[in-house]
Amino acid sequence: MRITVIDVAKAAGVSRTTVSNVFSGKGKYSNETREAVLEAAKKLGYKPNLAARALITNRSRLIGLILPSYVDANTLTNSPFYNIIIDSIYSVLRLEACYDLIIYSVPDKDQLARVNDWIDMRNVDGILAVGEYENAFLQDLNAKGLPVVLIDNYARGAFANFSYINSDDEMGGYLAARHLLEKGHRKIAICGDLAGPLMQKRQQGYRSALREAGCPEYVFDQTAIAIAAPFDAGVHFARRLTEQGCEAAFCTEDMTAIGLIHGLLQQGVQVGRAFGVIGFDNIHFGKQIFPRLSTMDQNIFEKGQTATKTLLETIERQARRGSRLILPVSLVKREST
């Protein structure tokens, strides 16, 4: 026998309209009512017809995730950050009634225009976008009128439909460099891809800490060596750092720091004693190497969850568009410093 909305309403002790509102995301109801409806639907095995509901409500119940142009075929392997973000998004969506995720990875900047067509064809209810994009693309995205939450983006344009979730990147860079200074290091380098606004925020924090201590900067920019993978860039930096007599390095992401430790150990350098290394992310790999990596914890999982909840609240008109949220970072001290 086919289970209907009426069956779910009777089991949950609510009206048929309330059941429909819970599954469509409309109307007002308490969390207790929502949980009762979802539990009744689960016990009865009720499965709403999403295609039919989409025609009625003009809602697809689909969230689009856009990954940036520098995410290539190997980036999800080379940089665990994106895997953590995707996992965190699903951790929220799987608790919501009938929301699903479509992932669109942009292989190069020339194909950004295709994303606009994809959004229109899929009729997504909202967008999560990770990273930095050209202003023209953001203008086109904003013009669609959909709620958009940007993760790790410092765009300053007049984008009325965007909300922003960032970590306190500048403070993270400052605390990382200050930690190395407190360990007695003076020739402290910064290593990573420093081209975009996000990493420049971290560089600004690093620069502030060194300026306070009266120490010079040593900048090793990944973009100058044309190496895409952060780990490989870190390995490459190892010999250059020792040749220039640096004593420590702040890497703007953990995978660069892990590559740097690998390269230093290959040279016989005692990381944590003769050379200090600190990263930025606090991914699990940092605890799985030795010496374990000191790092700035930016709570990646929480960042993805917060962005997803913000988007869903905006879709349901429970939150206003245009918010900017800065999440705190914290210093994780381990053996590498």
Q: Where are the beta strands (DSSP E) in the chain?
A: 62-67, 100-105, 126-130, 148-151, 162-167, 188-192, 218-221, 248-251, 276-281, 294-297, 324-327, 330-332
- Choice between 211 and 31, residue whose per-residue pLDDT is larger: 211
State how beta strands 218-221 and 248-251 pair: unpaired
Q: What's the whole-model pTM score? A: 0.83
Q: Which tens digits make up the pLDDT trace of 93-135?
A: 887 656 888 888 765 666 777 787 788 777 899 999 999 888 8
Is the bond preceding 328 in cis, omega lying within 30 degrees of 0? no
pLDDT of the residue at 43: 87
Name all domains of the chain by residue range, CATH numbers in brackets: 5-57 (1.10.260.40), 62-167+300-326 (3.40.50.2300), 169-297 (3.40.50.2300)
Contact criterion met (CB below 8 Å) for 128 and 90: no
pLDDT 10s digits, 3-48: 888 888 889 999 988 887 787 666 678 888 888 888 888 888 887 7
Q: Any residues with CB less than 8 A from the CB of 268 and at least 6 apart, and which?
A: none
